[in-house]
C-alpha cells in the first residue's frame, strides 16, 4: 500500500486507506467480531525464563463502558534491563529470530479476527479498521523485520 500512496500527501493517504478499508469491508468476507472476546487474565511478565515479582499494575479500560478489561504488570527499569540482557544472550548471530518473527506473523494471520476483536474492544476503534488495516500492517511489519534478522548484525559495513 505504501508504494501505491507514495505520491499522495498525508491527508490523501489517510482518505485512501479509509476508503480501501471501507471497500474491503463491503466487498469481502470479514468475519464478524467477537462481542466479548475471551482473554487471559493475570498474565505475568516473563523475563529470562522467570516470572519476576512485579507489584505494580495498571488497568486497561473498555472505552465503551469504562469497565476494566484486565490488569497488566508494569515492569520497572531493573526488569527491563534484565530482559534486554537476556534478549542479547538469547538472540546472538545465528539465532532463530527470523523464524520466530515469521511464526508470530503466521499466528497473527491465523487469529486475525480474534486479535481485531481485542483491538476494537480495547480502544473502541471500528472493527473493520482493526481487521483490514491494523493487523495486516502489523503482520507486514513483523515480516519486514524478520527479513532483516540475518542481515548486518551491527557489524560496521566496509
Q: Which cell numbers hold the place of 42?
A: 493475570
Same domain for 78 and 116: no
Q: Tell me: pLDDT of 18 over 60.
A: no
Read off the pLDDT of residues 87-113 as tens digits, 9 standing for 90 and up: 787 766 656 888 999 999 999 999 999
Domain range enclosing 134: 94-150
Same domain for 137 and 109: yes
Q: Tell me: pLDDT of 131 over 50.
A: yes
More confident residue, 146 or 79: 146
Tell me, what's the pLDDT at 79? Answer: 81
Tell me, what's the pLDDT at 6? Answer: 44
Closest by alpha carbon to 49, among 75, 76, 78, 83? 83
Model-level pTM? 0.63
Tell me, what's the pLDDT at 4? Answer: 41
- Helices marked H in the chain: 2-5, 10-27, 77-90, 97-110, 112-123, 127-129, 135-148
Tell me, what's the pLDDT at 105? Answer: 97
Same domain for 100 and 145: yes
- 107 three-state secondary structure: helix
In a domain, residue 16? The reply is no
In a domain, residue 63? The reply is yes
For residue 141, the 8-state DSSP code is H
Same domain for 100 and 78: no
In a domain, residue 6? The reply is no
Torsion sign (Cα): 130, 123, 141, 57: negative
In a domain, residue 13? The reply is no
**What CA–CA distance (Å, rounded) separates 136 from 128?**
12
* Residues contacting 67, CB < 8 A, separation 6+: 61
Confidence of residue 35 (pLDDT cuts 50, 70, 90): low
Number of separate domains in the chain = 2
Amino acid at each position: 500500500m505504501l508504494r501505491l500512496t507514495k505520491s499522495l500527501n498525508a491527508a490523501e493517504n489517510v482518505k485512501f486507506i479509509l476508503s480501501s478499508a471501507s471497500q474491503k469491508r463491503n466487498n469481502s468476507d470479514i468475519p464478524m467480531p467477537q462481542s466479548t472476546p475471551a482473554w487471559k487474565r493475570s498474565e505475568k511478565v516473563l523475563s529470562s525464563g522467570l516470572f519476576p515479582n512485579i507489584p505494580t499494575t495498571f488497568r486497561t479500560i473498555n472505552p465503551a463502558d469504562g469497565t476494566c478489561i484486565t490488569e497488566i504488570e508494569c515492569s520497572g527499569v531493573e526488569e527491563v534491563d534484565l530482559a534486554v540482557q537476556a534478549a542479547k544472550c538469547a538472540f546472538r548471530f545465528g539465532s532463530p529470530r527470523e523464524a520466530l518473527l515469521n511464526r508470530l506473523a503466521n499466528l497473527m494471520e491465523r487469529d486475525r479476527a480474534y486479535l481485531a476483536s481485542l483491538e476494537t474492544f480495547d480502544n473502541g476503534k471500528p472493527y473493520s479498521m482493526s481487521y483490514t488495516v491494523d493487523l495486516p500492517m502489523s503482520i507486514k511489519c513483523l515480516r519486514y523485520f524478520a527479513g532483516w534478522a540475518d542481515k548486518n548484525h551491527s557489524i560496521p559495513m566496509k
